[in-house]
Amino acid sequence: MASPPTTTIHNPQLRLLNALRANAKPIMTFLGLPSFRTAQVVAQTGVDGIIIDCEHGHISDDAMHSSTAAIAAMGVSPLVRLRMTHADLIKRALDAGAHGIVVPMINTADEARTVVAHAKFPPQGLRGQGSAFAALAHGVDTGTYVRTANETLITALQIESKAGVENVDAICAVPGVDMLFIGPNDLALSLLGYVPAKGNEPEFVDAIEKIVAAARRHGKWVARLSNTEALSKEHLRVFDTVALSYDIRAMQNWYMAELKVARS
């Protein structure tokens, strides 16, 4: 596939971006717990990127800043999933040093253009500059960060509704959109009225295929959530990257498995 436009400058600190550029099939995960130490522990596992979940996770602005710094210091790429598309949320995540943003529920090209505008410095966008922290997580000085951020930050938009699927081609065509991220649970709710999807429902399968095809046509990366290691391996045959589960789910699964053996 053709690489997105945010790929012309090389920075070795940007682990996820570099792996995507190399078609190395990087693996991410979600962080939902507001702990500097949890962020460090998960970052040490070998994942390439961690999505700090400010949408559904227990993550405050302060915890987002701390987790971003902790993850980046471990040589892993921190991304922040926002609550909404508001400009102030985009600014806070990027000013904390996020290597990219994941924005939920994008349904139209206009919404995509709004996100991109607030994620880019002028003249490409409207983002303001003033953070002393963003450059630290990129391993550069502030001047270099401002000069290169527009070309090195990943803007990932979640397609997770019937409207998003219907408009996916127009969303993909927006300059500055780097990645589509499929939210399978909300997509299933929107299309099928229940979760989780069985995975073989024609409407659900067709929607995912349409999203992937649009991403390929427009030279965008495409990603999705994968709840298990087996699904991750399967999905990586199609997708450029996956988010393998969630810190909270990992803890629950470990305890349930161990308790089952202990009580047997």
DSSP 57: S
Tokens of 161: 């509704």
138 is catalytic: no
Catalytic pick from 10, 56, 58, 86?
56
Tokens of 110: 């206009």
SS3 of 84, please? coil
DSSP 262: H
* Spatial CB neighbours of 143, under 8 Å, sequence gap ≥ 6: none
CA dihedral 86, 92, 93, 96 (to 10 degrees): 170
Tokens of 124: 């490409």
Strand partners, 29: 50
CA distance 163 to 191: 10
Tokens of 168: 């996916």
Q: Which residues are catalytic?
A: 56
